[in-house]
Amino acid sequence: MQRALFLCALVSVLSVIFITVFIFSQGLPVFRGVTPGEFLFGTRWQPTSTTDPRYEIFSFIVGSFFVTGMALGIGVPVGLAGGIFLAEIASTNLVRVLRPMVELLAGIPSVVYGFFGAVFISRAVRDVLGGTGYSVLAAALILAIMMLPTIITITDASLRGVSQEYREASFAIGATRAQTIVRALLPSARAGIISGIVLAVGRAMGETMAVLMVGGNAPIMPTGPLSKVRTLTMNIVTDMGYASGFHLTALFATGMVLFVVIMAVNFSVMLITRGTRARHA
């Protein structure tokens, strides 16, 4: 059994290594035809132009961070509130109803979220704020909804994992329930909550179909919440069906940039989480 478990772990590690080598081997040759500065910081994406083809993805990088940042700003407070409610406030009977519903929300396919966003969210944005409705804001709202199950579930589990002695000690010195949650429980569960937010960020950065259906998919620099947007993943999916040659290499390089960004986010949060656990140890 020990050898079987070791083999499973080894397969996981090797898979990550092979994926990394494959993406970089396919993407790095793009810098033979375009400089890293132009590729990463240019704003013109014209791969099919016969006179002046351009392979510049800065607008897609900005779009990805713009959409993800807005989604976090919307989804994290709601998700934290939901997890706190399930773990500390809701009655047992209500938890038995709400917890399975949250878990079911996590199993809905992204294309269904996309249909919901295209029919309801984009229309609501258009009716209330104007524009076409297909925008950064619509993409952020649908991503925020998709983040909720992860953030709520992990926040709930992290708070329930805090020792009951923390609650009893807080109540014993006269703290209210709100003070106990904010000053005792949330700091103790911080590492797990941050991990849940990281997972949500990874899903948001890597999400394609739902964002593609509500974001407008315009290869331009987003200028505001109502602007159309194309993210890194949207760019790959949009062009992969007909790309070839250097165009295909540029798409692999786009995936390489996305891979590096997500790995950097995960590594940064791992360091933060490790520091948090060390301070509480």
User: Domain 55-280 carries which CATH code?
Assistant: 1.10.3720.10
Q: What is the pLDDT of residues 56-91, one digit of tens each?
A: 999 999 999 999 999 999 999 999 999 999 998 988
- List Cα–Cα distances, 255 to 82, 116, 201, 210, 237, in angstroms: 33, 27, 16, 18, 10
Separation between Cα atoms, residue 18 and residue 211, nearest integer Å = 28
Q: What is the pLDDT of residues 96-142, one digit of tens each?
A: 999 999 888 888 888 999 999 999 999 999 999 988 889 999 999 99
| Residue-range domain boundaries for the chain | 55-280
Share of the chain above pLDDT 70, in %: 96
Provide the pLDDT for residue 199.
83
Residues sharing a CB contact under 8 Å with residue 164, sequence separation 6 or more, in sequence order: none
Confidence of residue 171 (pLDDT cuts 50, 70, 90): confident
Confidence of residue 275 (pLDDT cuts 50, 70, 90): low
This prediction's pTM: 0.87
Say if residue 19 is exposed, middle or buried (CB neighbours under 10 Å; 0-12, 13-18, 19+).
exposed
Is the model's pLDDT at 281 over the cut of 60?
no
Q: What is the pLDDT of residues 7-64, one digit of tens each?
A: 999 998 999 899 999 999 999 999 988 999 999 999 899 988 888 889 999 999 999 9
* Rounded average pLDDT over 237-246: 89
Confidence of residue 162 (pLDDT cuts 50, 70, 90): confident
What is the length of the chain? 281
Provide the pLDDT for residue 168.
87
Q: What is the pLDDT of residues 174-207, one digit of tens each?
A: 888 888 988 888 888 888 888 888 888 888 888 8
Contact 82, 152 (CB under 8 A): yes
Separation between Cα atoms, residue 234 and residue 206, nearest integer Å = 9
